[in-house]
C-alpha cells in the first residue's frame, strides 16, 4: 500500500466558472472564473457597484446566473444550503425585536427541524457550544438591544455556528463596528480559518483586508485579481479596480474646473 503524498494545494470548496449575473440590462458580474480554497478566509473587495454583494447572493442562488455556474464541492449550492451561513448587514435587523440572545442562536437549528418537532438535546448542546465559543453564555438571557455592537455581531456568528455551517458568507461584517469590536471580529475570523472554516466577507477597507484575511478577490464587475491578499492588493490592481486605469490626477467630476489659480 502506498501513501499518496499530501498535496500542498488545498482543494477548492467553491468554484465559479464563467459566471455572469444581470440585473435587467445592467451586467453586475461579468464572466467570473474563480476558485475559493477550502478553509481559507477571503476578503471580497472592489468599488461600489462592483458586484461584491451580488457574488454572495449568487452563491445562495438568489441571483439566477445569466451564464456559467457555481459549484460547491461537486454539487450546486442550493442542495447544500445547511453548509452555508449568511450573515445579514447589521442595519437589516430590528434590534428592538422581543427576542433574547439564546433565542436568536436557536434559530440556527430551525432549518434542520421538521414540522411539529421541538428542539432536542442535541440541538441544545449545539446552541450551548456556539454560545460558549463566542463568549455569549452569560449574555444568553439578554434582549438583543442590550448588547454592544461587537456582541451583537457575535450573536449572529453564533447562530451561523449553531446551524452547523462550514462556509460563512458575511456581507459587510465590519460596517458600524468600533475599533475594539473590529479587532475582536478579525480575531474570531482568523481563528475560524485556523479551524478549517471557510470565510467569505465583503470588506470595504483595504487595510483591514490586508490584516484580517489571507486571500482576496478584487472585483470591478469583471474579476480584477484573486489570490493571496498581498498580491491582490498590489498598487497596479487597486488602480485598475478603483480608478479603472485613470490617472489619479484626472478629474472625472470636474470638481475644480472653474477655479483660477493665481500666477
Partner 1 sequence: MHDFLITPFSFGFMQRGLLSAVLLSLSGGLLGCILVMRRLALMGDALSHSLLPGIGLAWLLFGPSTLALFFGALVAGLLTALGSAFLSRLTRVKEDAAFGSLFIIFFGAGVALVSKLPTGLSLSHVLFGNILVVGPSDLAVSAVVSSTTVMVFVVFYRSILLETFDPIFYRAVGGHSGLVHFGFLALTVLNLVAALQTMGVVLALGLFLLPAVSAYLWCDHFARMLVLSVVFGVVSSVAGILLSYHAGLASGAAIVLCLGVVFFASALFSPTYGLVGRCVRGLRERQAVRKHPG
Q: Kindly state the smallest distance separating residue 77's Cβ from partner 1, in Å.
A: 11
- Residue whose CB is less far from partner 1, 25 or 254: 25
Q: Kindly state the smallest distance separating residue 44's Cβ from partner 1, in Å.
A: 17
- Residue whose CB is less far from partner 1, 113 or 191: 113
Interacting residues with partner 1 (CB under 8 A) = 60, 62, 78, 81-82, 84-86, 88, 92-94, 97-100, 103-104, 107, 110-111, 113, 115-116, 143, 159, 163
Locate cell 479587532: which residue? 183
Q: Kindly state the smallest distance separating residue 239's Cβ from partner 1, in Å.
A: 34
Q: Kindly state the smallest distance separating residue 5's Cβ from partner 1, in Å.
A: 38
Candidates 49, 46, 58; CA nearest to 28 is: 49
Q: Kindly state the smallest distance separating residue 196's Cβ from partner 1, in Å.
A: 22
Nearest-10 crossing angle of helices 149-162, 121-133: 140
Q: CA-to-CA distance for 218 and 79, rounded, in angstroms?
A: 28
- Residue whose CB is less far from partner 1, 91 or 211: 91
- Residue whose CB is less far from partner 1, 133 or 171: 171
- Residue whose CB is less far from partner 1, 86 or 192: 86
Q: Which whole-number Å values give the CA distances from 10 to 39, 77, 84, 133, 168, in the listed order?
A: 8, 20, 19, 26, 18
175 Cβ partners below 8 Å, 6+ apart?
A: 89, 90, 91, 204
Amino acid at each position: 500500500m502506498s501513501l499518496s503524498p499530501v498535496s500542498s494545494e488545498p482543494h477548492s470548496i467553491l468554484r465559479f466558472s464563467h459566471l455572469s449575473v444581470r440585473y435587467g440590462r445592467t451586467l453586475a458580474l461579468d464572466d467570473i472564473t474563480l476558485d475559493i480554497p477550502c478553509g481559507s478566509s477571503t476578503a471580497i473587495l472592489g468599488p461600489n457597484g462592483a458586484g461584491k454583494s451580488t457574488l454572495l447572493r449568487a452563491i445562495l442562488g438568489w441571483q439566477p446566473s445569466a451564464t456559467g455556474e457555481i459549484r460547491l464541492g461537486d454539487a450546486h449550492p442550493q442542495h447544500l444550503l445547511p453548509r452555508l451561513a449568511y450573515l445579514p448587514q447589521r442595519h437589516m435587523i430590528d434590534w428592538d425585536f422581543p427576542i433574547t440572545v439564546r433565542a436568536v442562536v436557536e434559530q440556527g437549528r430551525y432549518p434542520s427541524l421538521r414540522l411539529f418537532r421541538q428542539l432536542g438535546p442535541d440541538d441544545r448542546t449545539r446552541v450551548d457550544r456556539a454560545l460558549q465559543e463566542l463568549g455569549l453564555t452569560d449574555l444568553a438571557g439578554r434582549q438583543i438591544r442590550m448588547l454592544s455592537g461587537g456582541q451583537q455581531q457575535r450573536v449572529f456568528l453564533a447562530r451561523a455556528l449553531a446551524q452547523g455551517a462550514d462556509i460563512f458568507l458575511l456581507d459587510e461584517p465590519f460596517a458600524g463596528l468600533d475599533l475594539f469590536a473590529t479587532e475582536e471580529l478579525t480575531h474570531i475570523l482568523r481563528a475560524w480559518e485556523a479551524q478549517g472554516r471557510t470565510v467569505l466577507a465583503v470588506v470595504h477597507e483595504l487595510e483591514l483586508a490586508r490584516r484580517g484575511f489571507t486571500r482576496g478577490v478584487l472585483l470591478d464587475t469583471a474579476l480584477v485579481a484573486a489570490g493571496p491578499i498581498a498580491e491582490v492588493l498590489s498598487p497596479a490592481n487597486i488602480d485598475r479596480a478603483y480608478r479603472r486605469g485613470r490617472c489619479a490626477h484626472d478629474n472625472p467630476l470636474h470638481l475644480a474646473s472653474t477655479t483660477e489659480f493665481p500666477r
